[in-house]
């Protein structure tokens, strides 16, 4: 007589409040990779804390350890829509004298409350520069390949 023992493995499922570790690759709709954790430590965050974009967090919620998923995140669940009021001209004499701006150059701008935000030089004129304070991925649909590697 043989005794058959059936084993089952319990797979952890990510839920609100869990600290998770994921590997990911982020692409634009045209396939251009803008970020990846490949050859790096996995990204670690707690579901529900809002440390990652809404759509990314929603994609990880409910995943099982070891599961992979591809998710498409519209702009409004990622970095929001581009806002034209975030593009403005700044007189060159308002820049520190050591800055020689070039189109595409990233600068830090200090807000009245003391917070620094990244901005990009979008255009140059003789007496002014055009600044774009939108996030570089604003207005874009993002595609992520995600692998849940652990739940703490």
User: Nearest CA to 50 among 69, 73, 77?
Assistant: 77
The answer to whether 11 touches 65, Cβ cutoff 8 Å, is yes
Please indicate, yes or no, whether residues 25 and 74 belong to a single structural domain of this protein.
yes
Asked whether residue 121 is domain-assigned, the answer is yes
- Number of domains forming the structure of the chain: 2
Please indicate, yes or no, whether residues 145 and 72 belong to a single structural domain of this protein.
yes
Structural domain containing residue 44: 19-80+138-151
Asked whether residue 25 is domain-assigned, the answer is yes
Query: What residues have CB less than 8 Å from 48, skipping those under 6 apart?
Result: 16, 17, 57
Q: Tens of pLDDT along the chain (152 residues)?
A: 566 666 555 668 999 999 999 999 999 999 999 999 999 999 999 999 999 999 999 999 999 999 999 999 999 999 999 999 999 999 999 988 898 999 999 999 888 899 998 999 999 999 999 999 999 999 999 999 999 999 98
Q: Model pTM greater than 0.85? A: no
Asked whether residue 73 is domain-assigned, the answer is yes
- Which pair of structure tokens corresponds to residue 63? 């995943």
Please indicate, yes or no, whether residues 76 and 145 belong to a single structural domain of this protein.
yes
Query: What residues have CB less than 8 Å from 103, skipping those under 6 apart?
Result: 121, 122, 123, 124
């Amino acid at each position: 007589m043989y005794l058959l023992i059936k084993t089952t493995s319990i797979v952890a499922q990510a839920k609100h409040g869990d600290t998770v570790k994921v590997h990911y690759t982020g692409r634009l709709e045209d396939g251009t990779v803008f970020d990846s954790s490949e050859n790096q430590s996995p990204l670690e965050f707690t579901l529900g804390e809002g440390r990652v974009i809404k759509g990314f967090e929603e994609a990880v919620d409910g995943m099982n350890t070891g599961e992979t998923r591809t998710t498409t995140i519209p702009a409004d669940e990622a970095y929001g829509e581009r806002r034209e009021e975030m593009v403005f001209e700044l007189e060159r004499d308002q820049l520190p004298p050591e800055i020689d701006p070039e189109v595409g150059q990233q600068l830090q701008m200090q807000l009245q409350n003391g917070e620094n935000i990244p901005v990009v030089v979008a255009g140059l004129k003789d007496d002014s520069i055009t600044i774009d304070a939108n996030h570089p991925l604003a207005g874009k649909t993002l595609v992520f390949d995600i692998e849940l590697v652990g739940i703490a």
